Amino acid sequence: AQTSAQLRAQQKHSITAGLGFVPLAGAGGILTYGFSVNQELEIQLAAQLLASAFPASWISGSVNLKARYYLGNAFYLSAGLGMEKGTIKDTFILPNNKVDVIKSETQYSAFGLDFGVGQQWRWGSFILDLEYVGVHSPLVFLNPRSVGVDKQTG
Amino acid sequence: VELRFVMLSVGGAF
């Protein structure tokens, strides 16, 4: 049987779909195309959707271009650049007046950085990819727009 | 900063 590293050198193209968890109460999905330059280096284009319910309602979609460097047979580090669009919705109940509720909605677009650590195994043409920790950090925000809605209830 | 923990993906290579 061939090792994952040997298969990366032979199979130039890969497509993977994944599901993950976002702390504290979120989840995400990712669709990735990869191009293997050689055993060590892979260039990836990934579309990602992340959503979280806590501490605020938040959803974001991003497209990332990444370089993934394999240190051995399966272990990798990845770094990339991304373009992200997101919406954050939050509700504040004022402590001094329980009938006042402030709702805010922020829409943003941002360029960001993306880092990841994980392992990818290949058996024949099958791929199993486990990214242990991924970080996406928006850095440069473009036209962030905030809408505040002040609601009187009761 | 958005973190994601344990992203499990499956797919194919060609």
Q: C-alpha distances in angstroms, A124 versus A4, A6, B5? A: 9, 10, 27
Among residues A31, A35, A28, which one has the least CA distance to residue A136?
A: A28
**So what's the pLDDT on residue A149?**
65
**Tokens matching residue A85:** 């669009």
The DSSP secondary-structure symbol of A10 reads H
Q: What would the mean pLDDT of B2-13 be, rounded to a whole number?
A: 92
Instruction: Kindly give the confidence (pLDDT) of every residue in chain A, 154 residues in length, as a single tens digit, with 9 standing for 90 and above.
Output: 899 999 999 999 999 999 999 888 899 999 999 999 999 999 999 999 999 998 789 999 999 999 999 999 999 999 999 999 999 988 877 777 666 777 888 899 999 999 999 999 999 999 999 999 999 888 888 876 777 666 555 4
Tell me if chain B has a CB within 8 Å of the CB of A61. no
For residues A8 and A23, what is the distance between their CA atoms, to the nearest angstrom? 32
Chain B CB contacts of A125 below 8 Å = 12-14
pLDDT in tens, A92-109: 777 776 667 778 888 999
Which of A44, A121, A127 is best to mutate for the B interface (most B CBs within 10 A)? A127
**So what's the pLDDT on residue A151?**
58
The DSSP secondary-structure symbol of A24 reads T
Chain B CB contacts of A6 below 8 Å = none
Closest A-chain CA to B4: A22
